[in-house]
Structure 1
Amino acid sequence: MLLINRLDPNLQEENNYKSIVAAVDFDPNDVDPGKQALNQQILGLAASLALSDFAALHLVHVWDVPEAKLVRLWADDPDTAEANMINGERTRHKTGMDALIRMLREQIGTEAYKYLSPQVHFSMGSAHKVIPALVKEIKANIVVMGTVARTGIPGFIIGNTAEAIFDQLQCSVLAAKPPEFVSPVM
């Protein structure tokens, strides 16, 4: 894990976080246990911070269907075909998010989950645009997110999507690598 404090060095950091964002990413078609473990780790870390600091917890998943525009080229009814594709993806991602929420409830217990009452933000769009805007809107103090995409030395620090998001944030970031990650630098 890597904790990066993005606060102005001239400002004094508060002892407690007030608003925590857990940003999870998944592909409903990919049941890779490593990716599921990373999302579980992200949710667990964020929930633990929220419980210890009596903070608001926001669970965020951003999904997109870039290929929906392509279906318009060959469909007899382009509007309906695009809408059906988007609705199908929305349903699959919502099912995946619901499963993560159930897993979090089981992980921390029903009473702790009820106490936290996390707000779920489920948006269609580009993660590197939606997440920074949401973080700013809710005035989050810290974002807990995973980083997996890159390999080699660049991937040691952060992944592509995480890097694009990180550059836009004005709060602390707790970046988690998958449990099976082995550092290429010793």
Structure 2
Amino acid sequence: MADLTPRILFERDIAKAITKEAQKFKANLILKPLTRSARITDLLHAPADWRLMRDAPAPVLFTRPAGWAKSVRVLAALDVSDAEHEALNKAILRHASLLTKVLGGELHVVSAYPSLGQQMSDFQVANDFDAIKRDMRARREATVKRLLDKMKLEDVSVHIVEGRPRQVISQLSTRLGAGMTVLGTAARKGIKRLFIGNTAEDITRELTTDILTVRTFD
């Protein structure tokens, strides 16, 4: 193990302190135990882990006490609903594939698409619901395949599942027995910083795996 130099900081704001230290040392990765808060204020205000996801200058690996299996399944969660997420999706795949190689595991990719009940306003005049669902699934499958081809990633299991991301990702993670889930998150500005709602942050409540969060930088 490499030499470790511990530093003890006295700060009220844990997320801010970690972010400042990571910036100072130009960290490539931040490791932190995942915490859960039962405080009622955290239902409205972002807990420290969530703020660290948004503000950290490097990917954050949130760890749990349980160890990994010998062959770790890594689950990369992508949002392929539009082209705006392509850069973030590539970052997720890059980190997930690297982890898979280092850990000697299996790489799985999941993308959720909404049920028609979640987007009825978009399809009020449509009658062939089955055709619409097939089209939504096919589009996402094609987008994921293009991403994997661009990044020259092979031996990847792809899961395109109908439902809300929070439920789809957590349920698939449990079914696969995944040891690591890789999520993308976004920085927020202004009043939005105060409130919960980011999909990656929301999913952490449901997952029982270690979690790596990544984001892109302008």
TM-score by length of structure 1 reads 0.73
> Deviation at 1:14?
4.5
Shift of 1:179: 2.9
Equivalents in 2 of 1:168, 1:92: separation in Å? Answer: 27
User: Is 1:18 equivalent to 2:76 in the alignment?
Assistant: no
* Structure 1 or 2: more helix by fraction: 1
2:176 aligned with 1:175: no
Aligned equivalent of 1:133: 171
User: Residue 53 of structure 1 aligns with which residue?
Assistant: 103
On the 8 A contact 1:150/1:160 being kept in 2, the answer is: no
Is the contact between residue 68 and residue 85 of structure 1 (CA under 8 Å) also seen in structure 2?
no
SS at match of 1:169: coil
The alpha carbon displacement at 1:31 in A equals: 2.6
Matches within 5 A, 1:101-120: 101-105=148-152, 113=154, 117-120=155-158
For 1:9-158, what aligned pairs fall within 5 Å after superposition?
A: 11=66, 13-14=67-68, 18-27=72-81, 30-32=82-84, 35-64=85-114, 65=116, 66-68=118-120, 71=123, 74=125, 78=127, 80=128, 82-105=129-152, 113=154, 117-148=155-186, 150-152=188-190
Contact 2:76 2:92 in 1 (8 A): yes
Kept in 1: contact 2:75–2:182 (CA 8 A): yes
Distance, in Å, in 2 between the alignment partners of 1:42 and 1:133 is 19
Tell me, yes or no, if the aligned pair for 1:17 and 1:142 is still in contact at 8 Å.
no
Q: Distance in 1 between matches of 2:197 and 2:70?
A: 27
Distance in 1 between the 2:143 and 2:78 partners? Answer: 11
Q: Percent of aligned pairs with the same residue?
A: 27
Residue pair 1:20, 1:141 contacting (<8 A) in 2 also: yes
Equivalent residues, number: 157
Unmatched runs of 5 consecutive residues or more in structure 2: 1-58
Does 2:62 align with 1:4? yes
Cα distance in structure 1, aligned partners of 2:159 and 2:86: 19
Q: Secondary structure at the match of 1:170?
A: coil
Aligned CA RMSD, in angstroms, stands at 2.7
CA separation in 2, counterparts of 1:163 and 1:145?
Answer: 9
State the match for 1:183 in structure 2: none
Give the C-alpha shift of residue 47 in structure 1: 0.5
Q: TM-score, normalised by structure 2?
A: 0.63
Cα pair distance change 1:47/1:69, threshold 3 Å:
same
Larger RCO, structure (CA 8 Å, separation 6 or more): 1
Q: How far does residue 98 in structure 1 lie from its aligned partner after superposition?
A: 1.3
With over 3 angstroms needed to count, the CA separation of the structure-2 counterparts of 1:133 and 1:62, relative to structure 1, is same
- Contact 1:148 1:159 (8 Å CA) reproduced: no
Conservation of the 8 A alpha-carbon contact between 1:132 and 1:168: yes
